[in-house]
């Protein structure tokens, strides 16, 4: 079965960096657009970033543009989210997801989801 396993979350201070990883198995990784979403307490899940099949195109939410970088290694079936200059408002559970359709910001287009990893940014 398909599994997406996130790692790399933790507790950091404002201004610090974290790198999230998401290892995929059970699917043809290079055939999927990969995305990162996040959900803060009491808020709806929101789009963070996405990357197309070969990594040629990347997309970001305005709130993270210039601070976060999404990348992928198809040989390792892994997608990454490098998060720099973290802010307290970045605190959330971060989820990776796999999407066989070219609809990068639409959560409904993503067929598979990881269990999430907690990122907490203290001020």
Residue 54 half-sphere exposure toward CB, CA atoms < 13 A: 1
Average confidence score pLDDT of the chain = 96
Which pLDDT score is estimated for 117?
A: 98
Query: Quick check: 98 and 6 in contact, CB under 8 A?
Result: no
Strand ranges in 14-77 using DSSP code E only, listed in sequence order? 18-25, 33-39, 46-51, 58-60, 68-73
What does DSSP say about strands 92-99 and 78-83: parallel, antiparallel, or unpaired? unpaired
Compute the average pLDDT of residues 57-83. Answer: 98
Q: Quick one: pLDDT band at residue 63, thresholds 50, 70, 90? A: very high
Q: Quick one: pLDDT band at residue 1, thresholds 50, 70, 90? A: very high
Radius of gyration of the chain (CA): 13
Which pLDDT score is estimated for 102?
A: 80
What does DSSP say about strands 92-99 and 33-39: parallel, antiparallel, or unpaired? antiparallel
Which pLDDT score is estimated for 114?
A: 98
Compute the average pLDDT of residues 60-75. Answer: 98
d(CA 26, CA 13): 36
d(CA 9, CA 118): 5
User: What are the structure tokens assigned to 55, written together?
Assistant: 């990594």
- The model's pLDDT over 87-102, given as tens digits with 9 standing for 90+, comes to 999 999 999 999 998 8
Among residues 76, 110, 85, 75, which one has the least CA distance to residue 95?
A: 110
């Amino acid at each position: 079965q398909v599994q997406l396993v996130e790692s790399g979350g933790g507790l950091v201070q404002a201004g610090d960096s974290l790198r999230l990883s998401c290892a995929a198995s059970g699917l043809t990784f290079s055939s999927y657009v990969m995305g990162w979403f996040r959900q803060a307490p009491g808020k709806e899940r929101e789009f963070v970033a996405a990357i197309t099949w070969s990594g040629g195109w990347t997309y970001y939410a305005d709130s993270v543009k210039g601070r976060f970088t999404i990348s992928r290694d198809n040989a390792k079936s892994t997608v990454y989210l490098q998060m720099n200059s973290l802010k307290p408002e970045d605190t959330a559970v971060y989820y990776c997801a796999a999407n066989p359709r070219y609809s990068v910001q639409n959560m409904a287009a993503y067929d598979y989801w990881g269990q999430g990893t907690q990122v907490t940014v203290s001020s």
